[in-house]
Amino acid sequence: MPIRLLPPTLVNQIAAGEVVERPASAVKELVENSIDAGASRIDVVLVEGGQALIAVTDDGAGMDADQMSLAVERHATSKLPDDDLVRIRFLGFRGEALPSIGSVSRLSLTSRPRGAESAWSLMVEGGAKGQPVPAAHPFGTRIEVRDLFYATPARLKFLKAPRTELNHAVDVIERLGMAHPDIAFSVSDGSRKVLDLAAKRGEADAALLARIAAVVGRDFEANALGLDAERDGVRLKGWAGLPTYNRATAAAQYLFVNGRPVKDRLVVGAVRGAYQDVLGRDRHPVVALFLDLAPEWVDVNVHPAKAEVRFRDSGLVRGLIVGAIRHALAGAGHRASSTVSAAALGALGNSGGHNNVYYQPPSRPGLPLLRAGMAAQAPLGLAESLPGLDLPPSAPSPIFSEMEEPEAATYPLGAARAQLHDTYIVAQTETGLVIVDQHAAHERLVFERMKQALAEGGVKRQGLLLPEVVDLGEAAAARLAERAEDLAALGLVIEPFGGGAVVVREVPALLGDADIQGLVRDLSDEVAEWGSSHSLEEKLFDICATLACHGSVRAGRRLGITEMNALLRQMEATPLSGQCNHGRPTHVTLSLTDIEKLFGRR
């Protein structure tokens, strides 16, 4: 068969295959065009998930009849004035969107440039371009896309339910909206508004955070840690949610590179890494990251839909993100999510006040520890002995401890007053009360101590009076024995015992009277899961977490007031102590105001 040049409509339909994958991608192109046109308000209508109709109306610069006619031609763009593919100042630049969309749908453009006497309208149906005709329209542009993919029935078959397609489109608009808080956005499904983002004015960072919160949830503002870091000309700004403010999926993770919403596996990995020891693997943080870097350092032209970018130095970007988030998390100290307390309060039957129920930590939570005269009550070294604080199990737990340590009430986590159900510590603070989950809290402390001990080059070991034999089965015992040397470095000394068992001779001193059987079984499961490819080095923190979990004071163990206060003081002094290793909160806070509300006093 002879070689021939393809007709333009076919070429456009082929391009549409990449650029316009589903209604949401058409929406993305059209809304980007409106943003590029300098719009201050963009209204979108999506009927049947966008398949029947996508209408995007803006109050931007507009086009006259000639320009409009050119705009629907392939590779026609106003956005590369100097032919400079590096320094791209607009969201668009490929000049492909309108001709692609026009080749697979019935497209109509209506536009009136600022100051023009009248508007013009133009139709493109299945790639066939009409003539511009006069129309009535206010300043700005309205683009309508009807019967998307009617000209390419194969693609039509891949569309999901209208509801799903609508959600994809809304996600696209939300992401664009987050990068442009000064623009108002709305989306309607033809009968009702499904998204309404008012323009945010005022101070730039505040406007940005307010817009993000409008998308991810109002309580994000109270649960977000600000990020601001720079390395070698790469700037990272944004917000990272507290670990306790987590989600079941990674959908609420937003990345912007030079103002462009993108998806990037590298960044997803960096975020996971940054949170790895404060969040279980099945939970995901909420983050909004804005990276700004010189255009030479990033290529945005690697994906037809411009949804991906390529970094010249991805290691640098990764390191910057991990470093900035970890730093912010460490600075958050023992802060836990406000929504946790809000939810607790909700469960108690309170309906209002949702947003006021959060714990505001002092700017430097560790500070009170330095107060003169307090050292005796809050010895820093106490946590070392905490696991071994072996009061006889029958030691009476004081129900009321009349002002034993009145000063302690001025600490952020207050003075311990009682232990309930041998599991929860109730403490009185200056402005309310704190309930601490003793196991979760202690697990966190042990974990942080282990990390620190590791960093300082050695975990202290403690011999067992009676070595403990653990039955694992031949394969598991052999697998674990292979790792004996690595585990010894962590303070856990095991030897093969024969008959599918191992014997544990020493444990990390930090662990105290740990549940050794459970610990060794969990470790053996984990080692099996990692296979032989991973060096234990990479998994150190996972192992620490397992060790910490088994070595921590159990729920159900009775604590004395001194132990409880020691635990509270340690929490205040320990980074990341607001959540356990799985992202669950270690404590909740109720303010007096909230308690008064519960009793109808307010």
Binding site partner of 552, from Mg ion, ligand ADP, none, Cβ cut-off 5-8 A by kind? none
Minimum CB separation of residue 61 from ligand ADP in Å reads 5
CA within 13 Å, CB half, 260: 28
- Closest by CA to 447, choosing from 273, 324, 276, is 276
Please report, for residues 66, 229, 465, 472, the alpha-carbon distance to residue 501 in angstroms, rounded to integers and kept in the order given. Answer: 83, 50, 19, 5
Q: Judged by CB under 5 A, does residue 419 bind Mg ion? A: no
| Binding-site partner at residue 159 among ligand ADP, Mg ion, none, CB < 5 to 8 Å by type | none
Pick the closer one to Mg ion by CB: 50 or 414: 50
**Identity of the residue, 97 or 289, whose beta carbon is nearer to ligand ADP in the bound complex:** 97
Choices 1-9, 95-103, 306-314, 358-366 (CB under 5 A): range interacting with Mg ion:
95-103
Binding letters toward Mg ion, positions 332-361, x by CB under 5 A = ------------------------------
CA distances from 449 to 328, 384, 515, 577 (A): 19, 9, 18, 11
Cα angle value 369/375/378 (rounded, 5°): 70
Instruction: Give me the least distance between CB of 24 and ligand ADP, in Å please.
Output: 16
Per-residue x/- marks for Mg ion, 16-45, CB under 5 A? -----------------x------------
Listed ranges 88-96, 404-412, 474-482, 593-601: which one lies at the site for Mg ion (CB under 5 A): 88-96
From 15, 31, 39, 97, residue interacting with Mg ion (rule: CB under 5 A): 97
Count of chain residues binding Mg ion (CB under 5 A): 3
Q: Does 109 bind Mg ion (CB under 5 A)?
A: no
Sites of contact with ligand ADP (CB under 6 A) = 29, 33-34, 37, 58, 60-63, 71, 76-79, 92-98, 141
Least Cβ distance, residue 71 to Mg ion (angstroms): 9
Closest CB 78 distance from ligand ADP, rounded Å: 3
Q: Which helix (H) or strand (E) holds 597?
A: helix 592-598
HSE, CB side, 13 Å, CA atoms: give it for residue 174. Answer: 21
> Nearest distance from residue 97's CB to Mg ion, in Å?
4
CB 291 to ligand ADP: min, Å: 22
| Buried b / exposed e along 325-363 (16+ C-beta atoms within 10 A) | bbbbbeebbbbbbbbbbbebbeeeebeebbeebbbebee
CB of 95 to Mg ion, least distance (A): 7
- What is residue 250's three-state secondary structure? helix
Question: Of Mg ion, ligand ADP, none, which one does residue 245 interact with (CB within 5 to 8 Å by kind)?
Answer: none
Least distance from C-beta 122 to ligand ADP, angstroms? 11
Q: How would you classify the pairing of strands 501-508 and 461-471?
A: antiparallel
Q: How would you class 44 by CB atoms within 10 Å of its CB: exposed for 0-12, middle for 13-18, buried for 19 or more?
A: buried
* Nearest CB to ligand ADP, comparing residues 99 and 512: 99
Q: Which is nearer to ligand ADP, 58 or 171 (CB)?
A: 58
Nearest to 45 by CA among 34, 56, 35: 56
Nearer to Mg ion, 110 or 337 (CB): 110
Residue among 92 and 102 whose Cβ is closer to Mg ion? 92
Minimum CB–partner distance for residue 188 and ligand ADP (Å): 18
Return the residues of window 246-285 that contact Mg ion according to CB under 5 A.
Answer: none
| Closest to ligand ADP by CB, 136 or 154 | 136
Q: Which is nearer to ligand ADP, 186 or 589 (CB)?
A: 186
Geometric angle at alpha carbon 553, from 552 and 555, rounded to 5°: 120
Question: Does residue 92 bind Mg ion (CB under 5 A)?
Answer: yes
Specify the residue for token string 């034999």.
Answer: 469
Residue listed under structure tokens 């390419």: 152
Question: Minimal distance in Å, beta carbon 130 to Mg ion?
Answer: 21
Cβ nearer to ligand ADP, comparing 15 with 492:
15
Q: In the sheet that 287-292 helps form, which strands lie side by side, from edge to edge?
A: 224-231, 234-241, 287-292, 253-257, 260-262
Closer to Mg ion by CB, 78 or 356: give it: 78
Give, as one character, the DSSP assignment of residue 102. H
Choosing among Mg ion, ligand ADP, none, which partner's interface includes residue 34 (Cβ < 5 to 8 Å by kind)? ligand ADP
Question: Shortest approach of ligand ADP to residue 435 CB, angstroms?
Answer: 54
* Cβ closest to Mg ion, residue 301 vs residue 535: 301
Q: Which is nearer to Mg ion, 100 or 429 (CB)?
A: 100
Would you say 40 or 410 has its CB closer to ligand ADP? Answer: 40
- Copy the structure tokens of residue 233: 């000309």
Phi, psi of 278 (to 5 degrees): -125, 5
Q: Is 122 left (phi over 0), alpha (psi -120 to 50) or beta?
A: beta
502 interacts with, out of Mg ion, ligand ADP, none, CB within 5 to 8 A per kind:
none
Q: Which residues touch 104 (CB under 8 Å, ≥6 apart)?
A: 13, 16, 20, 126, 148, 149, 150, 151, 152, 155
Strand, helix or coil for residue 337: coil
Report phi then psi at 538, rounded to 5: -65, -25
Closest approach of Cβ 96 to ligand ADP, in Å?
6
91 within 8 A of 31, measured Cβ to Cβ: no
Residue 93 contacts which entry, ligand ADP, Mg ion, none (Cβ below 5-8 A, type-dependent): ligand ADP
- Phi-psi category of residue 362: left, alpha or beta, with phi > 0 → left and psi -120 to 50 → alpha: beta
Write the CB contacts of 82 (distance below 8 Å, at least 6 apart in sequence): none
Q: State which residue has the least CB distance to Mg ion.
A: 92
Q: How far is the CB of 301 from ligand ADP (least distance, A)?
A: 11
Contact present, 430 and 407 (Cβ < 8 Å): no
Nearer to ligand ADP, 122 or 340 (CB): 122
User: Which residue's entry shows tokens 């023992």?
Assistant: 334
258 binds, among ligand ADP, Mg ion, none (CB under 5 to 8 A by kind): none
Phi and psi at residue 74, to the nearest 5°: -65, 140
Q: Provide the minimum distance between the beta carbon of 208 and ligand ADP in the complex, in angstroms, as a whole number.
A: 24
In the list Mg ion, ligand ADP, none, the entry touching 37 (Cβ below 5 to 8 angstroms by class) is ligand ADP
Helix, strand, coil percent content, the chain, rounded in steps of 5: 40, 25, 40
Q: Which residue is nearest to ligand ADP (CB)?
A: 92
Contact set with Mg ion (CB under 5 A): 33, 92, 97
